[in-house]
Amino acid sequence: MSKKVYIFLADGFEDIEGLTVVDLMRRAQIDIKTVSIKEIRDITTSHGIHMQTDLAFKETDFSDADMLVIPGGMPGTKYLGEYQPLCDLLTDFYKQGKKVAAICAAPTVFATLGFLEGRKATAYPSCMDGLKGAERSLDSVVIDGNVTTSRGLGTAVDFALSLIGQLLGEKTADEIAESVVYSRK
């Protein structure tokens, strides 16, 4: 059975953190869709790359999702955290025990929503103070229950492979790592 993942993008998202997840998941045959939180599908990354997402938030039904992902970057993380329909979707998903994942500054959105209370989590170094209620970790990727967090651009491949491992098993994650000449720790 194919897995379905949605990754939410706002202007100013960190290119590598978002697109590494998309690239590696597609290599693993996971059906991942990029979703704009704007009315239109045009997004500009934090480094000025213009792109089109697969979908716009308001035209999408997320009931088939196995995982929801938010990348970091500024001001992308700020915009994601301010977009109430996304926060409501993430909260509903989280409360159902389904998998949510965030990298870099984006775990602070999870903290604001109360997802990290009493959980182990990580984030970009300057964002660690924003992990209210969490047991802060310096690990590159932290999985605590249905919540996965990661530190930043330098951990994007580890983050993506971890998500693949959670959805399809470690053997598949290892195969994808090998296919892109990446040594897993």
- Give the active site residues: 104
Task: Give the residue from 147, 67, 72, 65 showing the smallest Cα distance to 113.
Answer: 147
User: What residue has token string 């953190």?
Assistant: 17
User: What residue has token string 């992308």?
Assistant: 76
> Taking the CA of residue 129 as centre, how many other CA atoms within 13 Å lie in the half-sphere pointing to its CB?
1
State how far the Cα of 58 lies from the Cα of 111, in Å rounded to an integer. 24
9's CB contacts (< 8 A; 6+ apart) are 18, 34, 35, 36, 37, 43, 53, 71, 76
2's CB contacts (< 8 A; 6+ apart) are 29, 30, 31
Positions of E strands within 20-113: 31-36, 42-44, 50-52, 55-56, 67-70, 99-103
Strand partners, 55: 35
